[in-house]
Each structure stands twice: as C-alpha cells, then as structure tokens.
Amino acid sequence: MILFPAIDLKDGQCVRLKLGDMDQATVYNPDPAAQARAFEEQGFEWLHVVDLNGAFAGETVNGAAVDAILKATRNPVQLGGGIRTLDHIENWLSRGLARVILGTVAVRDPALVIEACRKFPGKVAVGIDAKGGKVAVEGWAEASELGVIELAKKFEGAGVSAIIYTDIDRDGILTGINWPSTLELADAVSIPVIASGGLASMDDIRRMVAPDAHKLEGAISGRALYDGRIDPQEALDLIRAARKS
C-alpha cells in the first residue's frame, strides 16, 4: 500500500485543478523540484507527476520541470500526460522515470500499450479516467463510450504494472475517493489498481487501509496534502502499520 503525492504541472508550475478544468488551477508551488524534495523529506516513497499541458497537447510540454524533479528526488517517479508513442516512452524511461502512465493511447491504440509492456516490462501503467462511468481522453476533454472495466480487461495478462483509476467527477473537490467504483475495478481485474480523484481527509486514508482495500496498490493525494487536510506523518504511520498487519 503506497500513498503517492501528486505534482500536477501546468506552465512549469505545481498546480491542482478542480474537476480537471485547466481554467480552475491553483498554483501551490512555482518550483516543482522543491516540492518533490519536500515530499521525499516527509517520508513519501513514490511520486506521481502529470504533465497537464502535455495531456491536452498530445506531447510533452513540461519536460524541463519533469527533468528537474528527477534530479531533485531519489524516489521513483511515475509520469502521465502526453505520452502517446513508443518513442515517447523510451525517451522518458531513458531520462530516469520509473514508470510511464498511458491514458489516451490506451483507448485509441491498445495494441501500442501491449507492445510497450513487452518492450519495457514493469515500466508501463495505464491511466483510466472516468466521467459518469465512461472513460475520458485527451486530458479529460473528450468522453468515449468505453466502460472502465471493459477497458481495463483489454490489458489483462499484458504486463501492465498498475491501473491508475481517477473519478473525474471527484477530482480536486475533496469529496472523498469513489471507493465503490475503485474496489469494483480492483475486483474485476488482476492488475494492481491505484485510487485517484477526490482523496479528502484522514478518513480516506483509514478507508484505504481497511481489509477490503488491501488489494489496491495505493492511492494518490494532491489537494488534501497541499491544503493540510492530511497529515503526512500520521498518514504514512497508518499505512506502515497496515503493511505489518
């Protein structure tokens, strides 16, 4: 069980969006590398990074900020947003990423994801972002007719290291993780699932370490960490205790 602190990048700065809307961005740190160092010093073991501009552009936009993050922290880093080709994947892994997250391309070209898993074992995660139960793509700007579990099952046995499942309707508004949908997905596939979108308080951390959630790889926290609604030490202590039980 891992708590992944999130750094979302917009125009080179660390921000949080509300409901995935680029016009509703709050800047939390103009120096993403300093934020990465701070998370490591607090005791976090991983870092979740999203190139928000890249997700809309279909290519890396905040590359300089990501490179600075990779230099600033010893923690493994996973990155999503605008990674759409095998060349993109290979380039980022060569620059020191622990894992890439493929979202839009997982819908548009599932065969590419399967090929990427074959070429880069253990280094490829799939991001499934849902609005009203349907998968959204292109930086959440476009809805598909594909169901979450339907998409996830396409990658069973392919070697996907994790599925990062985000409920867009809850993202950035601190209403709590959509636990029923997240656990339903985790029950439906053998691929480890990471919960994302709406983590709001220590109640979500306590829910995350409940016995029926042990099947999850972890959860991602953004705004609740930045706003102080989650105490990093208390949260990490709860998670460590759950690992021992």
Q: State the Cα–Cα distance between residues 7 and 31, nearest whole angstrom.
A: 10
Point out the catalytic residue in the list 8, 51, 167, 204: 8
For residues 148-162, b (16+ Cβ closer than 10 Å) or e, as one string? beebbebbeebbbbb
CB 188 within 8 A of CB 39: no
Q: Is 8 a catalytic residue?
A: yes
Q: Is 187 a catalytic residue?
A: no
Long-range contacts of 22-28 (CB under 8 A, 24+ apart): 22/52, 22/56, 22/139, 24/172, 25/52, 26/223, 28/226
Q: State the Cα–Cα distance between residues 245 and 226, nearest whole angstrom.
A: 29
Point out the catalytic residue in the list 51, 129, 171, 204: 129
Active site residues: 8, 129
